[in-house]
A and B are shown apart, each in its own frame.
Chain A
Amino acid sequence: MKYQTQKVAYPYFILATLLFGLQVIFGLITGAKYAWNVDPLMHILPFNVSREIHINLLVVWLLFGFMGGTYYMIPEESDTELYSPTLAYVQFWLFAIIGVTAIVGYLLGWSWGMPFTEQPFIIKVGIVIVALMFLYNILMTVLKNKKWTTIEGVLVAGLTALAVMFLFGMFFMKNLSTQYFFWWWVIHLWVEGAWELIAAALMAFVMMKLTNVDRTVVEKWLYIEVGLVLFTGITGTGHHYYWIGTPAYWLWFGAIFSAFEPLPILFMVFDTLRMAREKHLQITNRLAMYWAVGGTIMHFFGAGVWGFAQTLPQINKWTHGTQITAAHGHFAFFGAYVMLILTLVYFMMPQIKGLKNYNQTKGFVTFYTTVFFMLMMVLALTAAGIVQVYFQRILGFDYLTAQSYMHLWYGVFFVSGLCFVSGVFLYIYDFFTLKEARSAIN
């Protein structure tokens, strides 16, 4: 760690870690409702509320992770202390309070009712304020030294898009089709636009530090990757406009552009592997390297392959609105973002804590457990989805009858989820007890 203010990242990573734990607990409860069918919690915590909390916590803890990672990175990239650590702490508490209020509100039935953006209007205003505080702090730090690196440029572009796109999900629209049209500007243009930029910038920084490969090469590839991400991703939003009351030309535009969406991810895989091979340093933090390389590969399969598998309208017509989408969602979020945040944590936390050679054993067990059981969960949901498509869409059975044929897979999904959660809990334990490896102490 070069600058004192990089420490600001610490509380962000703590809360991200705790909320990750809470997110998977709610995931487990939500999954149990599928596996058992009869729901004893129906009147206390019905499915819609537990799902709402599960997916909101996902977004919130990932955002805390992004913010922590950014606060750690920006002083080092800008060669200066952070513009205002105080503002960063105020922002932290404000976001934490808003987050807790939203979750408690959900438990009491206070919802705005659009998936992922269920936050009532006033909470949304708070989120925008937090985003602006964050953006301001980062921008002022970068401007302090008037030194714009490509990594910073991509990061700031991503953060700006993050704040701007959220505005399109804030307002009530009378027409459901229009409402969903703009809802996708938040959902799709976040995860396949703004977030990809932030993630790519953070990833470039970590890989550069881990391997010490040449900055110009890293930044050249960063341009190519995010360029392709945005070229395919922006008009690729169209793959969500097939069936929501929007004109038929989206079947063409959505299909053609989104069919190329796996390409930049594939580049990222090659790029990361190339850097890992060309490393100019002895890599001591093998664990961070594993999360980074593993993350790009899982990102490719989760977002790229599982996404591509149903992005063409001829297929999407049958799979849209089934568990196939849920399988893709779990896989893509885990590969693209969860593993990235864990890369950041395992790269940055030892430095924040001043550990030269930390014990990586538990971290590796977490890596293998979570990756393996996430794959199992995804395969189970995919199988359930295939059964659903066959019985419900092809044979025309009614919804609940089709569900009854999916039970076996819901069972596999739940058991895999349980094992996945145990991996997450090991991570949480590891996070709080990170210490020097025995050999280093000797």
Chain B
Amino acid sequence: MEKSTAKRLFIWGTLISTVIFIALTYDTLRQIPRRTDDAGLTQQVVAGKWVWQKKNCNDCHTILGIGGYYAPDLTKEGKLRPADWLKKFLKDPRAVMPEPRQMPNQHLTDKQIDDLVAFLQWVSNIHTNGWPPQPEVASANEAAASSSELSRGRLLFSSNGCTACHKINGMGGNVGPDLSHVGARRDPQWIAQQISDPASHYPINLMPSFKTLSKTQLDELVQYLSNLK
């Protein structure tokens, strides 16, 4: 190949790729408002995004999978955890989650906390082409449905972040009580009530309410816990 041919290859290659990229960029910018709940992008969400940046949250946490790998990804956090849990946590991370690896208290004002939570909730509605993926085992179990309430309950337990506070058979956090034998101590009804309305048992406890669980999910979770004897 001559040098002049190589030069033409360089120019055309660059040009073609640039044209494709610009065209797709144009279309992407057109589609992003639809895929990201543009109507819900309120002043409060924007203020929350600024809190997120100013406190440099992104160098510990990933969001949309991008950032530091020292702390959990927050893409779907706004859906995963109830707002009152997020607010309690942001007010004093250590009180809610006294794990060895901690989040330093950012000393946010109440308004900043509300803004940040609004931002996280807005982010959780971004259409991410199915990312993060559903855990493979969970999907497999769902396929094998009928007699698997126990293992589905176990997965609900872990996917709802219960393990962050509660230990079962030596695995999990130390914030809440050890649940390895909770089925021997409590009846299913009590457990169900504790999950959906913790304050009804202890008005001043840290556990957030998981009212967001569907009836079936709650049943599966309760069945799993009741079987821990």
Do the two shown chains form a genuine complex with each other?
Answer: yes
A interface residues with partner B (beta carbon < 8 Å): 33-34, 37-39, 42-43, 46-49, 51-52, 109, 111-115, 118, 150, 172, 174-178, 180-181, 216, 219-221, 223-224, 226-228, 230-235, 237-238, 241-251, 253, 257, 317-318, 320-323, 325-326, 393-401, 403
B148 at the interface (CB under 8 A from A): no
Sorted from nearest, which 3 A-B pairs have the closest CB atoms? A396-B135, A113-B53, A321-B65
Neighbour of B17 across the interface among A181, A216, A219, A232, CB < 8 A: A232
A397 adjacent to B53 (CB under 8 Å): no
A and B contact pairs by CB, cutoff 8 A, 17 listed = A38-B100, A47-B59, A48-B58, A51-B60, A113-B56, A223-B6, A231-B13, A231-B17, A245-B64, A246-B28, A247-B31, A248-B129, A249-B24, A321-B65, A395-B136, A399-B72, A400-B101
B190 at the interface (CB under 8 A from A): no
B177 at the interface (CB under 8 A from A): no
Known: A244-B64, A395-B135. 5 other contacts (CB 8 A): A176-B49, A230-B14, A257-B17, A326-B69, A396-B138
B137 adjacent to A394 (CB under 8 Å): yes
A48 adjacent to B57 (CB under 8 Å): yes
Neighbour of A113 across the interface among B7, B52, B71, B173, CB < 8 A: B52
A178 adjacent to B101 (CB under 8 Å): no
B interface residues with partner A (beta carbon < 8 Å): 1-3, 6-7, 9-11, 13-14, 16-18, 20-21, 24-25, 27-29, 31-33, 35-36, 38, 41, 45-46, 49-50, 52-60, 62-73, 99-102, 104, 123, 126-138, 155, 158-159, 161, 163-164, 171-173
Report A-chain residues with C-beta under 8 Å of the C-beta of B158: 396-398, 401
Report B-chain residues with C-beta under 8 Å of the C-beta of A401: 158, 163, 171-172
Neighbour of A177 across the interface among B57, B126, B132, CB < 8 A: B126
A398 adjacent to B161 (CB under 8 Å): yes
Neighbour of B53 across the interface among A39, A112, A180, A320, CB < 8 A: A112
A68 to chain B minimum Cβ distance, whole angstroms, is 27
Report A-chain residues with C-beta under 8 Å of the C-beta of B102: 39, 42
A182 to chain B minimum Cβ distance, whole angstroms, is 9
Given known A-B contacts A46-B104, A114-B53, A176-B64, A245 and B128 have beta carbons under 8 A apart: yes
Report A-chain residues with C-beta under 8 Å of the C-beta of B55: 111, 113
B78 to chain A minimum Cβ distance, whole angstroms, is 12
B123 adjacent to A176 (CB under 8 Å): yes
B60 adjacent to A47 (CB under 8 Å): yes
B14 adjacent to A247 (CB under 8 Å): no
A180 adjacent to B66 (CB under 8 Å): yes
B69 adjacent to A48 (CB under 8 Å): no
User: In the complex, which residue of chain B has the Cβ closest to the Cβ of A216?
Assistant: B3
User: In the complex, which residue of chain A has the Cβ closest to the Cβ of B59?
Assistant: A48
Report A-chain residues with C-beta under 8 Å of the C-beta of B2: 220
B53 adjacent to A234 (CB under 8 Å): no
A124 to chain B minimum Cβ distance, whole angstroms, is 13
Neighbour of A243 across the interface among B64, B69, B72, B104, CB < 8 A: B64
User: In the complex, which residue of chain B has the Cβ closest to the Cβ of A48?
Assistant: B59
Given known A-B contacts A47-B68, A317-B133, A175 and B38 have beta carbons under 8 A apart: yes
Determine the distance from Cα of A221 to Cα of B3 in the docked complex, in whole angstroms: 8
Determine the distance from Cα of A387 to Cα of B64 in the docked complex, in whole angstroms: 21
B133 adjacent to A318 (CB under 8 Å): yes
Given known A-B contacts A220-B2, A223-B7, A227-B13, A113 and B72 have beta carbons under 8 A apart: no
Chain A binding site: helix, strand, loop or mixed by DSSP? Answer: helix
A398 adjacent to B56 (CB under 8 Å): no
Report A-chain residues with C-beta under 8 Å of the C-beta of B173: 400
Report A-chain residues with C-beta under 8 Å of the C-beta of B52: 113
Neighbour of A247 across the interface among B28, B59, B159, CB < 8 A: B28
A321 adjacent to B59 (CB under 8 Å): no
Neighbour of B68 across the interface among A115, A228, A397, CB < 8 A: A115
Determine the distance from Cα of A396 to Cα of B187 in the docked complex, in whole angstroms: 27
B132 adjacent to A321 (CB under 8 Å): yes
Report B-chain residues with C-beta under 8 Å of the C-beta of A318: 133
A400 adjacent to B56 (CB under 8 Å): no
User: In the complex, which residue of chain A has the Cβ closest to the Cβ of B46?
Assistant: A174
A253 adjacent to B20 (CB under 8 Å): yes
B14 adjacent to A115 (CB under 8 Å): no
Determine the distance from Cα of A325 to Cα of B66 in the docked complex, in whole angstroms: 10
Given known A-B contacts A114-B58, A323-B69, A247 and B27 have beta carbons under 8 A apart: yes
Report B-chain residues with C-beta under 8 Å of the C-beta of A112: 53-54
B41 to chain A minimum Cβ distance, whole angstroms, is 6
Determine the distance from Cα of A241 to Cα of B31 in the docked complex, in whole angstroms: 13
Report A-chain residues with C-beta under 8 Å of the C-beta of B72: 398-400
B10 adjacent to A51 (CB under 8 Å): no
Report B-chain residues with C-beta under 8 Å of the C-beta of A234: 14, 17-18, 20-21
Report A-chain residues with C-beta under 8 Å of the C-beta of B100: 37-38
Report A-chain residues with C-beta under 8 Å of the C-beta of B163: 397-398, 400-401
Report A-chain residues with C-beta under 8 Å of the C-beta of B29: 178, 181
Determine the distance from Cα of A242 to Cα of B128 in the docked complex, in whole angstroms: 8
User: In the complex, which residue of chain B has the Cβ closest to the Cβ of A392?
Assistant: B135
The winner among A109, A178, A398 for most chain B CB atoms within 10 A is A398
B129 to chain A minimum Cβ distance, whole angstroms, is 5
